[in-house]
A and B are shown apart, each in its own frame.
Chain A
Amino acid sequence: MWDTFRKERAWQIKEFFFTLRLLRQNPSAVAGFLIIALVTLMALAAAFVAPYDPIRISLGERLRPPSAAHLFGTDELGRDILSRVMYGAQISLRIGVLVVVIAGGCGALLGAISGYLGRRVDNLIMRVMDVILSFPPLVLALALAAAMGPSLNNAILAVAFVMIPKFARLVRGEALSVKEKQFITAARASGAKSLWIILNHILPNCVSSVIVLSTLILGETILIAASLSFIGLGAQPPTPEWGAMISVGRKFLLDQWWYATFPGLFILVTVIGFNIFGDALRDILDPRIRR
């Protein structure tokens, strides 16, 4: 089975390895990838590697500075910050991936429908998107999360909703150019329905740009989700979410600098990682720069 797969997909496999080689030659892509890999690894291995239980309270060890026992120190309830940061990676990545999947799925579909059908449908969908875009993303996400009630799932939905227009606009643009291609007319000439054409011809031709946008959006998403948690609308205690940790740690910033600093550092690094990786990916996948 593996053999036939390799034979049938020979071209894609070659192309994939070529992309990998380009990625390897691009220092910012490598840096971005390493950061993403480390954070992902940390999230996956948290249960095995974390030195302490992230929610176990030990009031005897409140607000200890970084030391050999607690590398990142402890918080006001004596919980190990390193362990909490590690588990926090799980949550942040889950938020990022879920938001991108939800927003990317809905956005791409809406964009493809809008671009392909055009006219009234296009106008309707795009004006709705414009309305969403006219709010600053954080403010809108905040309002939605507040309206739905503070919880991690609601925060994810709120952020996903805010991100939909970005995907929709991108895919609409792609769809506009793809739909003029002859193979779309050919598909119509052979009796395909509009929905079939959108799903089978338009969307597959937009996938590469959606992937690139996803990596960029992922960073932004993590930031917004952290902000929501910071205000208290996202993850609820005792969930070790980075934003929520900063939010509490802020009160101790003057005397216990480590509390807010380490989660903040991780947000910073993770977001930068996704952003530079996405940037590099965009450059590499662009056929005009590629060869």
Chain B
Amino acid sequence: MAEPLLSIRNLSVQFFTYQGVVRALEGIDLMIQRGEILGLVGETGCGKSVLARSILRLVPDPPGKITQGEIRFKGEDILRVNGKRLREIRGNEISMIFQEPMSSLNPVFTIGNQMAEVVILHQRVKRDRARAICLEMLSQVKMPDPDRVLSKYPHELSGGMKQRAMIAMELSCRPALLIADEPTTALDVTVQGQVLTILDDLVRRIGASVLFISHDLGVIAQLCDRVSVMYAGRVVETAPVEALFARPRHPYTVGLLQAIPSMHEERDSLMTIPGVVPRLIDPPPGCRFAPRCAKRFEPCDRVVPPLSEVETGHAVACHLYPGAPEDATRKSVGAGEDG
């Protein structure tokens, strides 16, 4: 198996607050192959954005701290590189698109200025060459009249245009990995469709991998190759898209899929999962989903279920699936933790 572009092993992030230690991420295992789009789903507050930010070491510190684990990007542990190398990686090899395009652009500079800034930061080019690159990128994201857009201020563009400008900006250095943190959540549905098509198209063309974060399963199904499902700071299931939607294994994933209203059946109310997300200050000792799980049995409250493969490429962290014994490529994690 080829070396993955990004592999995250046993990553834990904690926030030290006055109320206590919030265990935002615990024992995260994730990998992204070259040219692959990995979807990351989970409900609000489950740690998707924290995971995205820790890849670029952008977790605000204090109060946040990456307490253990490693993030290998092209074989290099991002958590251990020095500041200079980190800045080289940021924006050039890994770049990130944020949720709200309105606030991701500096209101006092024109789009052209900000885009050129990123290009100049990483490529040794003159300003007019940088401008040409920006123009080229803007037309790649199908921006109408890119020449004029360059001299516009962020507030003069619509949300969709801003997000497209962000995509153009973040892909202008041809990164190997793009982290997209709910890039379309703030946009309305029609614009969302356009932006996704453009993103998909462009990313495939330059051969970048994407970590695509969303809580919209529809978007994930349309865009991604593989999906990881997160719950309360842990990855509970990772599978190829088709497998996940056809044969969800983890009770949480099953519940999540059932909660999507279908056009074909009559239902009075939406399916919900009973209970609420656990507080991450003192999470349940065993499986974090156990208190809400209908299929809970004896070990669930005690032992953290390891993430283990049930079929090729499909891994689940649940005691219902004892799974294959540990193998070298997909190390089981979390078991040793106090949880």
Contact = CB atoms under 8 A, between A and B. Distances in A.
A and B: bona fide binding partners: yes
Nearest to A181: B103
Nearest to B88: A191
Interface stretch (B14-22, B105-113, B224-232): B105-113
Contacts of A205: 106-108
Contact of A188 (B90, B117, B153, B170): B90
A193 interface: yes
Given A183-B106, A186-B104, A200 B117 contact: yes
B185 to A, nearest CB: 13
Nearest to B151: A8
24 contacts: A181-B103, A183-B104, A185-B98, A186-B96, A186-B98, A187-B106, A188-B90, A189-B56, A189-B90, A189-B95, A189-B96, A189-B98, A190-B118, A190-B121, A191-B86, A191-B87, A191-B90, A191-B92, A191-B118, A192-B117, A204-B106, A205-B107, A205-B108, A207-B108
A7 to B, nearest CB: 8
Interface string B116-132: 01100110000000000
Nearest to A119: B62
Contacts of A185: 58, 98, 104
A127 B108 CA distance: 31
Nearest to B169: A190
Contact of B122 (A186, A188, A191, A204): A191
B334 interface: no
A200 B107 CA distance: 12
B153 A190 contact: no
Nearest to B170: A190
A187 B90 CA distance: 9
A183 B105 contact: yes
A191 B91 contact: yes
Contacts of A282: none
A186 B58 CA distance: 10
B198 interface: no
Contacts of A11: 153, 156
How big is chain A's contact interface, by range?
20 to 34
Nearest to A204: B108
B301 interface: no
A186 B90 CA distance: 10
Interface in A161-210: 181-183, 185-193, 196, 200-201, 204-205, 207
A12 to B, nearest CB: 9
B136 interface: no
How big is chain B's contact interface, by range?
20 to 34
A201 B58 contact: no
Contacts of B43: none
Nearest to B94: A189
Given A182-B103, A185-B98, A192 B108 contact: no
B121 A192 contact: yes
Nearest to A178: B106
Top 6 closest pairs, chain A to chain B, by CB: A190-B91, A191-B90, A191-B91, A182-B103, A189-B96, A191-B87
Interface in A1-47: 7-8, 11
From A186, A193, A201, A204, residue with most partner B Cβ within 10 Å: A186
A3 B176 CA distance: 41
B106 A201 contact: yes
Given A186-B105, A191-B122, A204-B109, 15 more contacts: A7-B151, A8-B151, A182-B103, A183-B104, A185-B104, A189-B56, A190-B91, A190-B95, A190-B121, A191-B87, A191-B89, A192-B91, A192-B117, A192-B121, A205-B108
Contacts of A181: 103
A105 to B, nearest CB: 18
From A187, A191, A200, A205, residue with most partner B Cβ within 10 Å: A191
A121 to B, nearest CB: 14
B259 to A, nearest CB: 29
B21 to A, nearest CB: 20
Nearest to A183: B106
A189 B117 contact: no
A187 B96 CA distance: 10
B104 to A, nearest CB: 5
Nearest to A202: B106
B104 A188 contact: no
Contacts of B86: 191
Contacts of A204: 106, 108-109
A205 to B, nearest CB: 6
Interface string B42-60: 0000000000000010100
A11 B87 CA distance: 34
Contact of B58 (A183, A189, A193): A189
